[in-house]
Amino acid sequence: MIISKAHRTRAIGIFDSGIGGLTVVAEILRQLPNENMIYFGDTGRYPYGPRSREIIKKFSRQNINFLLEKGIKFIVVACNTASAYALEYVKRIYSIPMIGVVKPGSEAAARFTVNGRIGVIGTEGTIASLSYQKALKKINDSFKVVAKSCPLFVSLAEEGYIDKPAARLIAKDYLLEIKNKKIDALVLGCTHYPLLKSVIGSVMGKGVTLVDSAEQTAVAVKQALGRLDLSNPSKKAGKTRFYVSDSPGKFKILGERFLGKSIGKVNLIDINAY
């Protein structure tokens, strides 16, 4: 297949349930500064973590239909729950290349572990899907994987409860069980969790490497674009456009705080029309 230059300059489409996927955007901006991006945050239907597999599959289809309409070359499912529940399903439906965050996060954990004991934390959906557990076992069947859902972490991160004593108490409730299993790498299997890194790190102790899948996902995007001959040949800085399904003003404020720069207009769309 011959790929035109115009096709290579197309944007990477990224979606997440809300603002969490901006951790992936930040890493792509850093590692692939000349790529254009279209980001969709499903703020009218977040969070995805506690919802069913069936509805996450439907939401993912609608989000991808919207991104495709914008003329993109590649899709990143930046949400762990959507990656866990829907990535294999949407890959069978659509021909556009896409990646999620579960495989890159698992591969990184596999590189970091020494004793072969790996912890995974995420939303109820991500943990119930067994996606990380399966991805890690596929890399090395002798890995011992301990998984735990930490549903309150998303709200704590969103409310800025990232270093208060209450956050530490809740982190202890969730994590002591994993800590006791002597893991040496812990996958932060939800894009919100890196915001709680310091609390999670202090509960887990120094011997445990925290694996942030955003960074690894950006590396995987770079490799995939190279392999598929889809890298943007432009030398100019890429542009990122933002779309949401509710509250564009709030997204703009949080997004700019998150990325540490102006993000321009945030556009409101009706995702149920897709």
**Which residue number, 57 or 103, has a Cβ lying nearer to a copy of itself?**
57
Tell me the window of 1-9, 133-141, 162-170, 223-231 that interacts with a copy of itself (CB under 8 A): 162-170
Catalytic one among 22, 79, 101, 147?
Answer: 79
Rg (C-alpha) for the chain, rounded Å, is 18
Residue 170 touches a copy of itself, criterion: CB under 8 A: yes
Q: What is the DSSP letter of 148?
A: E
Rounded Cα distance between 258 and 266, Å, is 14
Q: How many CB atoms lie within 10 A of CB 48?
A: 27
Which CB, 19 or 204, lies closer to a copy of itself? 19
Residue 246 or 256: which CB sits closer to a copy of itself? 246
Report the alpha-carbon distance of residue 224 to residue 228 in Å, rounded. 6
Contact call for residue 65 and a copy of itself (CB under 8 A): no
Footprint of a copy of itself on 171-230 (CB under 8 A): 173
Separation CA 53–CA 75 (nearest Å): 20
Closer by beta carbon to a copy of itself, 97 or else 151: 151
Task: Give me the residue label for tokens 């996060």.
Answer: 105
Residue that is written with structure tokens 């321009």 in the block: 264
Q: Per CB under 8 A, which of residues 28..57 are in contact with a copy of itself?
A: 43-45, 50-52, 54-55
Q: In what order do the strands lie in the sheet with 37-41?
A: 98-99, 72-77, 11-16, 37-41, 240-244, 266-268
Piece of the chain touching a copy of itself by CB under 8 A; list 82-90, 180-188, 223-231, 239-247: 239-247
120, 83 contact by CB (below 8 A): no
Picking from 35, 51, 49, 42, the residue whose alpha carbon sits closest to that of residue 17 is 42
Partnered with residue 186 across adjacent β-strands are 119, 210
Shorter beta-carbon distance to a copy of itself: residue 48 or 143: 48
- Least distance in Å: CB of 123 to a copy of itself? 12
- Give the closest residue to 41 by CA, choosing from 207, 251, 256: 251
Q: How far apart are CA 159 and CA 156, in angstroms?
A: 5
| Residue from the set 152, 162, 219, 269 that interacts with a copy of itself by CB under 8 A | 152
CA separation for the pair 59, 57 (Å, rounded): 6
State yes or no: is 150 an active-site residue.
Answer: no
Least Å distance, CB 199 to a copy of itself, is: 12
Q: Is 151 in the site for a copy of itself (CB under 8 A)?
A: yes
Of 158 and 184, which has the nearer Cβ to a copy of itself? 158
Is 253 among the residues that bind a copy of itself (CB under 8 A)? Answer: no
Among 34, 115, 138, 166, binds a copy of itself (CB under 8 A): 166
The three-class DSSP label of residue 73 is: strand
Asked if 159 interacts with a copy of itself (CB under 8 A), we say yes
List residues binding a copy of itself (CB under 8 A): 43-45, 50-52, 54-55, 151-152, 154-156, 158-159, 161, 164-167, 169-170, 173, 245-247, 250, 272
Known catalytic residues? 79, 190
